[in-house]
Amino acid sequence: MTPGRRFKDDLYEQLARLGKATSAPKRLELLDLLCQGPRTVEALADQAGISIANASQHLQVLRAARLVEAQKQGLFVQYRLAGDDVCQFFLSLRTLAAARLAEVRQVTRAFLEQRGALEAVDGDELLRRVKRGEVTVIDVRPVEEYRAGHLPGALSVPLAVLKSRLKQLPRRREIVAYCRGPYCVMSLEAVELLRKRGFRAHRLEFGVGELRAQGWSLAAGDETAAP
């Protein structure tokens, strides 16, 4: 074997580590969740619908591929992405799948049609309306995701408490809800609830991962959280 051939074999073997690490659907979902912000194993397991032991095993594979990092915090272990480029990698993979795999479009279309084919507000239009103060933007993700990063001016109204906070939302203004991106169902459920209660509501397809990748400046903390 020539030195050049050995170099190529060694190189592609290392590149294949990323493919192997992301070959499981649940590991991709964990990366998607971590794009929103750091999480404990327990929180990741709950939100991904798997056991803590299963989540831990998947996270160890991702960690071995240098895609995630772990840090001990008291009695818990918190995971985070190894860098913003990991989220960009996941978003690129998702975009490629949507462009090349008809099955992705079919599954998405079928689900949206079942939910009434709710239309989305594109990012540029939302930004224009936000700058003009024409809409109320709500972040329906869990509070910890909101604290890690959110659209400036967005109110934190997690889907789980949305019904109890309807009186706090203005009825004469259009409301735009967003969550984790185009395949997140929380914003769909939020818009369905709002429309049933008489609000003019739309969903934003983009999540903070997409917006960060596009160069949007995000806010952090609780300064605009709804009471």
Side chain identity at 26, as an amino acid letter? K
Instruction: Give the strand order in the sheet containing 120-121.
Output: 120-121, 201-204, 174-178, 135-139, 155-156
Catalytic residue of the set 35, 87, 179, 184: 179
Question: What DSSP assignment string belongs to the chain?
Answer: --HHHHHHHHHHHHHHHHHHHT-SHHHHHHHHHHHH--EEHHHHHHHHTS-HHHHHHHHHHHHHTTSEEEEEETTEEEEEES-HHHHHHHHHHHHHHHHH-HHHHHHHHHHHHHTT---EE-HHHHHHHHHTT-EEEEE-S-HHHHHH-B-TT-EE--GGGTGGGGGGS-SSSEEEEE-SSTT-SHHHHHHHHHHHTT--EEEE---HHHHHHTT---B-SSTTB--
**35 is annotated as an active-site residue:** no
Question: CB-based burial of residue 13 (10 Å sphere; 0-12 exposed, 13-18 middle, 19+ buried)?
Answer: exposed
Looking at the annotation, which residues are catalytic? 179
